[in-house]
Chains A and B, each alone.
Chain A
């Protein structure tokens, strides 16, 4: 049973209680998450680390409100997101959550500033004003000079910075990142993560990053390690065997 009827609001920025998730594959029900309990505070950069198939992507999808859990309760800044209607959930994502994808998923036919402005445009803001704000965000990410270029004219690091700008432009309270550095070389990845940490982390915002890139573990405020659908480690450092 999913839902937060019996779970009191504990005031944490993100509160995950008893989350389980089943997938059906070939007629068999496969449980990929086993009753996850997790609280994340605001102002923190949280890493979710684990092998492929450990359930970290499923968990972050559920936290980000794009995948329904089979059981359990998710509160994001106090809102029981899976009690919302589909429409309300979409609105909630739009206003509260910023997304950074592994493959950037930029729209190839519009320039960087427009790409970064998409959430604002989707919120209904005038396109010009939205683009202007997106430019400001791109400036903060040090690629203001690339604002009028198409994604295909940018390097991988620049594209990811555009994606970060898109994730932050509407001032979301929660930012979720899926392997932000996986497609980048070490140097670019490092620079992107430095920027992300500088720009994204704020006192009223949580940032959750799914990654297994051990080159950037030192930036985290908190690292959660997942194995077989369970959180096996929770601390500021990765356990030694993960390194």
Chain B
């Protein structure tokens, strides 16, 4: 009977492709928009994600995210190192500064100061240059945004000189990091250099990055640090989430994307629902005949389920493929999409949405079929 059901469906090409298109379009819209949304939100946590070697971030109690910082006195580093369970801790500086480009333009940058001797805090991968070149005097690394923003297309950034707070800085590498939410240029340098590059305030230490000793969970370490030092400590995942939440709370992005996703869902329901019920109405006599001949409601349900399932499979498969291709190609070719990826949860979420669409429209259509009296075929 399933075979008959599939034939019934695919024989009506217009409606079949209408259904497939409806599901594929909904899938594409929901998946793609959710993915861009999640990735935009993740931009609020790139500073955390870019540092893979620490699991606890310690900051002043009023600091909120990677960019909303109230600096601490430099002794905070020793306070954190004093906490049992801290394997090691390094200072980390994030501050805004203005840089003079080789062309003479002024560009706002985020200066990141990493630990002087170990360079912990530096992103792991480099596009150009090697990590140890940061140990040279006045050495800075720029990120991909900085490569495009500070230098002309054909200019060679390695070896270029910048001016920061009346200090000379020499670009000696390009690091491979995802841009931040504001896409601001990021300059990496050593902590002691960073102090010179950033106009002076009394306290300068933005974060202390700590690593839990073996056997101590980051959560437990956070508790210990907060209890002993009175500073605010967050695990890596929590702090990344803080950055994401900050964007959610302070921008209209969730509403915008929520509306688009809801639209995708509604359009999907509308297209699929209308087409499916048209299809069922066209075939209601055949269904009635089948019921009279002796096909019971369970089999009828299976038939409609098979029809909906086929439409769902094809539409969802094509939609997800298009959405992931879009993100993959976009992420590989565009700076704006750099680092974008499709979280595996989103296709599952879309699957849920598509399933809902199919269940709702299939149920509506099925109700009609089930209510058809077999005796109606004789009238």
Contact = CB atoms under 8 A, between A and B. Distances in A.
A/B: CB atoms within 8 Å of each other? yes
B4 A118 contact: yes
Interface stretch (A33-41, A59-67, A182-190): A59-67
A23 B155 CA distance: 90
B1 A107 contact: no
Interface in B208-267: none
B3 A121 contact: yes
Contacts of B3: 121, 127
B377 A101 contact: yes
A99 interface: yes
Contact of B293 (A86, A93, A108, A109): A93
B294 A119 contact: yes
A91 B294 contact: yes
B7 interface: yes
Contact of B292 (A57, A91, A99): A99
Given A110-B7, A110-B11, A114-B4, A103 B285 contact: yes
B4 A121 contact: yes
Given A64-B292, A105-B285, A121 B1 contact: yes
Contact of B4 (A92, A110, A210): A110
A95 interface: yes
A213 B12 CA distance: 35
B378 interface: yes
Contacts of B290: 118, 122
A122 B294 contact: yes
A39 B292 CA distance: 23
B102 interface: no
27 contacts: A57-B378, A61-B378, A66-B373, A66-B374, A66-B375, A67-B374, A90-B296, A91-B296, A93-B293, A95-B294, A99-B292, A101-B377, A107-B8, A107-B286, A108-B11, A109-B8, A109-B12, A110-B7, A110-B11, A114-B4, A118-B290, A121-B1, A121-B3, A122-B290, A122-B295, A178-B378, A210-B378
Given A99-B289, A107-B286, A114-B4, A94 B295 contact: yes
Q: Secondary structure of the B side of the interface?
A: helix
A105 B286 contact: yes
A60 to B, nearest CB: 7
A66 B292 contact: yes
Given A103-B285, A114-B4, A118-B4, 9 more contacts: A60-B378, A66-B374, A66-B378, A91-B296, A95-B294, A99-B377, A105-B285, A106-B286, A114-B7
A228 B14 CA distance: 46
Nearest to A93: B294
A241 interface: no
B interface residue count range (under 10 / 10 to 19 / 20 to 34 / 35 or more)? 20 to 34
A93 B285 contact: no
A207 interface: no
Contacts of B4: 107, 110, 114, 118, 121
Interface in B3-49: 3-4, 7-8, 10-12
B371 interface: no
A57 B7 contact: no
A8 to B, nearest CB: 28
B378 A101 contact: yes
Nearest to B289: A105
Contacts of A92: 294
Contacts of A86: 296
A164 interface: no
Given A57-B378, A57-B379, A178-B378, A122 B8 contact: no
Contacts of A90: 291, 294-296
A13 interface: no
Contacts, number: 85
A93 B292 contact: yes
B299 interface: yes
A-B pairs with the 10 shortest C-beta distances?
A: A109-B11, A94-B294, A105-B289, A93-B294, A66-B374, A67-B375, A90-B296, A61-B375, A66-B375, A110-B7
A207 to B, nearest CB: 16
B288 interface: yes
A103 B284 CA distance: 13
Interface residues of A, number: 34
Nearest to A91: B294
Given A57-B379, A101-B377, A109-B12, A122 B293 contact: yes
B293 A99 contact: yes
Contact of A118 (B10, B293, B373): B293
Interface centre among B285, B288, B375 (most CB of A within 10 A): B375
Interface in A88-145: 90-95, 97, 99, 101-103, 105-110, 114, 118-119, 121-122, 127
Contacts of A61: 375, 378
B7 A87 contact: no
A118 B283 CA distance: 15
Contacts of B293: 93-94, 99, 118-119, 122, 166
Contacts of B292: 64, 66, 93, 99, 101
A94 B298 CA distance: 14
A121 B183 CA distance: 63
A162 B187 CA distance: 80
A106 B299 CA distance: 18
Interface centre among B1, B11, B296, B299 (most CB of A within 10 A): B296
A105 B296 CA distance: 17
Interface in A148-187: 166, 178
Contacts of A103: 285
A127 B283 CA distance: 21
A126 B255 CA distance: 53
